[in-house]
Amino acid sequence: MTVIAVRKDPQRLTITVEAEFDASPERVWQLWADPRQLERWWGPPTYPATFTKHDLAPGSSVAYYMTGPEGDQLHHYWEVLEADGPHRLLFRDRFANADGTPNTDLPMNTVRVVIEEVGHGHTRMSIESAFPSAEALEQVLGMGMEEGTKQAVGQIDAILGEDAFAKR
């Protein structure tokens, strides 16, 4: 269990996931900085990601596509806003057309990664994703991200608290 906290803010449409690893910040940074490692974890097994361009310099971009079970491909790219290895990364994850050009019709989400050493050999990484609208969140989830549906359908609503639903 390496996820230590999850904070969801339905009003601001942000979700922050914090995780701890038995590794140095440099090792954790490599998960983002090495495209071959990214390919091992970014996409779910049913939608593996292939990175075709990877340059984490601010102002540069990272391009990738995800291949679905039917061979369908979903193209994306990151607009790198800030990068300061091994501690900080800020990028916009956006949709692209099949030829790799940006598809500005579809929404983006902004991802902020902070990596910090919390003790010898232990590193904490927090990932905050922010969505411009609930529709954007829905679209990001709907496009090739089906693993989320493993979540039980009847998830209890934290907005109301568990007791509220128990009454029913």
Partner 1 sequence: MVVFVQIGPPDFDRMFGALADHTRRDIVRRAISAEEGVVELASHYPMSFAAVQKHVGVLERAGLVTKERIGRRKVVHTNLERLRVARRLLDQYEELWRCRIDRMTELIAETRRATDDRHRRP
Q: Which chain residues interact with partner 1 by CB under 8 A?
A: 2-3, 6, 8, 10-11, 13, 15, 17, 19, 21-23, 27-28, 31, 37, 40-42, 44, 68, 70, 72, 127, 129, 133-135, 137-138, 140-151, 153-161, 164-165, 167-168
* C-beta of 79 vs 146, nearer to partner 1: 146
Q: Categorise residue 102: left if φ over 0, alpha if ψ from -120 to 50, beta otherwise.
A: beta
Whole-angstrom distance, CA of residue 149 vs CA of residue 141:
9
- Closest contact distance (angstroms) between CB of 24 and partner 1 is 10
- Closest contact distance (angstroms) between CB of 86 and partner 1 is 14
Please list the residues that pair with 87 across neighbouring strands: none
Number of H helices, E strands in the chain: 4, 8
* C-beta of 2 vs 101, nearer to partner 1: 2
Measured from the Cβ of residue 38, the count of other Cβ atoms closer than 10 Å reads 19
